[in-house]
Amino acid sequence: MKPNVDDLVVRTRTSLKPGELLLGFGLMAVIGSVVFIHFVMGWLLAAPMATLAMILLLIGVISARDRSATAGRLGAGIGLLLPGMIVLFVSAFMAASFSLELAIGVQQPQFAALHRGSNPGIGQFLGLWGGWLLAPLLMNCGLSLWTNWSTQRRVCWCLIIFAVPPSALILHQILTALGGPLTA
């Protein structure tokens, strides 16, 4: 007796909603763009990657739009999503910059005093944390108005967004330890 093909396929309860795959790739491109900006000639890769990240995020957000929402709700949603994306970019860049300053202080202490921010101050640290917390908050509020996603789905995306700046910091630290931006 032949097995039924449907019996062999494992079905999941959840599937991706429209726009989620583009949002995921956009967030990965955000991390890549801010990590490579400090490398020698890395801006050649980082600039197009940042543009690609913003385009992917915008197309993902547009694809995820609730078609039955009112114009006011959609306007408020995009009014929160766009600043959330900007804060996400800035906080991820600040995390990579913080990582660079830490690396300069550790790997090349003779240049640490010459580097403008070699000893990261409390202002930069608070800016990093503020952006790190503000981006998921703005994006969650925007997604709740812009999409018809469940609360669990929005919270999961906010946790993913929350992980972008520390991921940029950790990836930048790994690449710096391998001899990235400080080897030129």
For CA atoms 42, 47, 48, 50, the dihedral sign is positive
3-state secondary structure of 113: coil
In this predicted structure, the answer to whether residue 9 has a pLDDT above a threshold of 80 is: no
53-103 tens-digit pLDDT: 989 988 988 888 888 878 888 889 889 988 988 988 888 888 888 777 777
Instruction: Kindly report the pTM of this predicted structure.
Output: 0.75
Mean pLDDT taken over the chain:
78
- For the segment 117-131, what is each residue's pLDDT rounded down to a tens digit? 545 566 666 777 777
Separation of CA 13 from chain center: 27
Structure tokens belonging to residue 114: 């010459």
Domain boundary assignment for the chain: 17-177
